[in-house]
Amino acid sequence: MKSLLKFITCGSVDDGKSTLIGHMLYEAKLLFADQEKALELDSRLGSRGGKIDYSLLLDGLLAEREQGITIDVAYRYFTTDHRSFIVADTPGHEEYTRNMAVGASFADLAIILVDATKGIITQTKRHTRICALMGIKHLVLAVNKMDLVGFDPNKFDAIGQEFAKLTAEFRFESIQVIPVSATEGDNITKNSPNSPWYKGKALLPYLEDVDVHQNDNAKEFMMPVQRVCRPDHTFRGFQGQIEAGRIAVGDELTTLPSRETAKVKRILVTDQDREYAYAGQPVTIQLDREVDVSRGCVFTKDSKIQEADSFSATILWMDDSVLTPGKNYLVKVGTKVLPGTVTAIKHKIDINTGNTVPTDQLVKNELAKCEFSVSDDIVFDSFEQNKSIGGFILIDRVTNMTSACGVIDAALQSSDKGTQSLAEVTRDVRAEQKGQNPLTIWFGGSASATATLAKEVEKRLVARGYHTMLLENGAGESPQRLAEVAKLMNDAGLVALVVADAAYAGARELIGEAFIEIGADARKSSVEEDANDIVKRVVKYLINNKDMDYSI
């Protein structure tokens, strides 16, 4: 049986990714007659003056053809005499980096294109790092548009050397640098006479021969449970795809996280009984006794697989919103989905240098090291050993969109509760968990409008996502007692809004710098206008914790 190679093309805008794959399919005679005819007809209205525009084979969206760029991931399936292929043509524009990451997540090999007239640029570096993050071990650097630099070998060598420096920090298993011209066809399916100095294989022959498959059957057996199948009371089977190793009838399995053991009674591939099954096969496994297993559990024979409810990870942030500590998401690892919280952003990674940069927030397309806490134990392994339970995604709980993808680096806390070593929980830790700076807002004066104003301010703060507590002077509560309770609320990481009948001179001294007093003489407009004005100033403090006028 022919082996399958899954690969992606990536690089910056207009580096020629779609043109390269389109030309390869056309020149290798891998198109149907109607596809070839449609391409020739569409090219008459293209941007090449009537010449065949090979990118049209992959850029199927109207917006892509109008702009001359790739927006979505385009998948193509083709087979040569030597191998079968699935290629994902991914977008080059920075705006669509998340689409590129989606394509990289499935691939064994990446073709990274660079424009010979521009060399290595920021997007090249970003895509290389994403490929490494997604576990791709094999790269082809296609130096495109060599015809525009006269097939200059010195230019080609300089780009290859710069790329070697860029990839030195990663553990890629193979890197092949090939000079090509996507529009003219040089070194795509056969070696070009325009580059006699290049002694390596052309692109397609290289893809046909490169060995990218590790022996997954040699690893310990591991299968995340996708579904529990119970058609009637006589049968209970567990369905999923075997991600690593081999399983046979009679083998003993451990179920995680319950750590119960049972023996394999029956294996079905589709509806056929099998004595054994191996990595890559979707199966139904029936056990010899009842165990506590549901979707998200993992079958294994490997004792090295870990469990934890908090972990550190490297992520690619893909959301338009800003990521800050304390935000809640759904965390999906393998087939398990749990509520989780971003507890800390340790640092981001500079795309150009690879250096770490301290930060407390992330914007779209940034790479960073973060820490997470989830509601229950997750089962995970190193990403290199098992991609399926070594990587994860963050899902926005409101929009259900994927906000980030990443790989788990290490457990922060063992699931063995007897061996945990917990850090001290301080005011700063509680505040970081809530993603805000604690603060007391003191509303003085005895008028009923004071309480109304405080409630309006709280409504607006809560609407912005802040955690608050309103304290009113009920049952003759003294201002001093209110100040003491407000300080406790601040220690819990909350924003305390205090409505007091009388002033208390010691409130600021007791509570500290996180104190804002709203004087009665400050309220000169309507309640709504006053509340809006106060909230603007308060939010400035909550965001910056500085440059704040503490008396309003």
What pLDDT, in 10s, does the model give residues 417-431? Answer: 434 444 567 787 788
Given this model, what pLDDT does residue 531 score?
A: 85
Average pLDDT over residues 384-405: 86
Residues 386 and 282: beta-carbon distance below 8 Å: no
Average pLDDT along the chain: 80
- Whether CATH 3.40.50.2300 fits 430-544: no
Alpha carbon distance 505, 444 (integer Å): 11
Sign of torsion, CA 387 388 390 394?
positive
Per DSSP, the three-state class of 165 is helix
Quick check: 522 pLDDT over 50?
yes
- Short-list 226, 233, 248, CA closest to 294: 226
CB burial of residue 322 (10 Å; 0-12, 13-18, 19+): exposed
- Whether CATH 2.40.30.10 fits 216-300: yes
Given this model, what pLDDT does residue 546 score?
A: 44
Residues 175 and 165: beta-carbon distance below 8 Å: no
Quick check: 520 pLDDT over 80?
no
Of the segments 213-217, 254-258, 527-531, which one has the largest average pLDDT value?
254-258
CB burial of residue 483 (10 Å; 0-12, 13-18, 19+): buried
**Residue of 389 and 519 predicted with greater confidence:** 389
Indicate the pTM of the whole model: 0.64
- Short-list 428, 545, 423, CA closest to 490: 428
Given this model, what pLDDT does residue 548 score?
A: 43
Quick check: 123 pLDDT over 80?
yes
Given this model, what pLDDT does residue 478 score?
A: 81
The domain limits of the chain are 4-209, 216-300, 306-422, 430-544
Alpha carbon distance 110, 10 (integer Å): 7
What pLDDT, in 10s, does the model give residues 259-269? Answer: 889 999 999 99
Q: Maximum distance among all alpha carbons in the chain?
A: 95
Alpha carbon distance 387, 383 (integer Å): 5
Q: Looking at the domain covering 306-422, what would its CATH class be? A: mainly beta
Q: Which amino acid is at 106?
A: F
Given this model, what pLDDT does residue 551 score?
A: 44
Alpha carbon distance 39, 60 (integer Å): 11
Strands 109-115 and 260-269: unpaired
What pLDDT, in 10s, does the model give residues 277-327? Answer: 988 889 999 999 888 888 989 999 866 788 888 888 988 888 888 888 888
pLDDT band, very low/low/confident/very high, at 198 (cuts 50, 70, 90): very high
Average pLDDT over residues 521-547: 73
Alpha carbon distance 455, 534 (integer Å): 12
Residues 177 and 243: beta-carbon distance below 8 Å: no
Quick check: 475 pLDDT over 60?
no
Query: What would the CATH number be for the domain defined by 4-209?
Result: 3.40.50.300
Cβ contacts of 77 within 8 Å, gap of 6 or more = 84, 85, 86
Per DSSP, the three-state class of 384 is coil
Average pLDDT over residues 57-75: 47
- The structure tokens listed for 68 are 């001359």
Strands 109-115 and 138-144: parallel
% of the chain exceeding 70 in pLDDT: 81
Given this model, what pLDDT does residue 46 score?
A: 54
Given this model, what pLDDT does residue 56 score?
A: 58
Cβ contacts of 300 within 8 Å, gap of 6 or more = 220, 221, 222, 223, 253, 254, 256
Quick check: 376 pLDDT over 70?
yes
Quick check: 444 pLDDT over 70?
yes
Given this model, what pLDDT does residue 413 score?
A: 59
Residues 318 and 404: beta-carbon distance below 8 Å: yes
Q: Do domains 4-209 and 430-544 have the same CATH topology?
A: yes
Alpha carbon distance 324, 493 (integer Å): 15
Given this model, what pLDDT does residue 63 score?
A: 39
Given this model, what pLDDT does residue 504 score?
A: 73
Given this model, what pLDDT does residue 324 score?
A: 87
- Short-list 123, 13, 126, CA closest to 67: 13
**What's the Cα-to-Cα distance from 376 to each of 51, 233, 246, 303, 348, rounded to whole Å?**
59, 30, 29, 20, 27
pLDDT band, very low/low/confident/very high, at 32 (cuts 50, 70, 90): low
Quick check: 156 pLDDT over 90?
yes
Alpha carbon distance 124, 10 (integer Å): 8
- The structure tokens listed for 486 are 């407000």
Given this model, what pLDDT does residue 411 score?
A: 85
Average pLDDT over residues 512-528: 75
Given this model, what pLDDT does residue 55 score?
A: 58
Average pLDDT over residues 398-407: 87
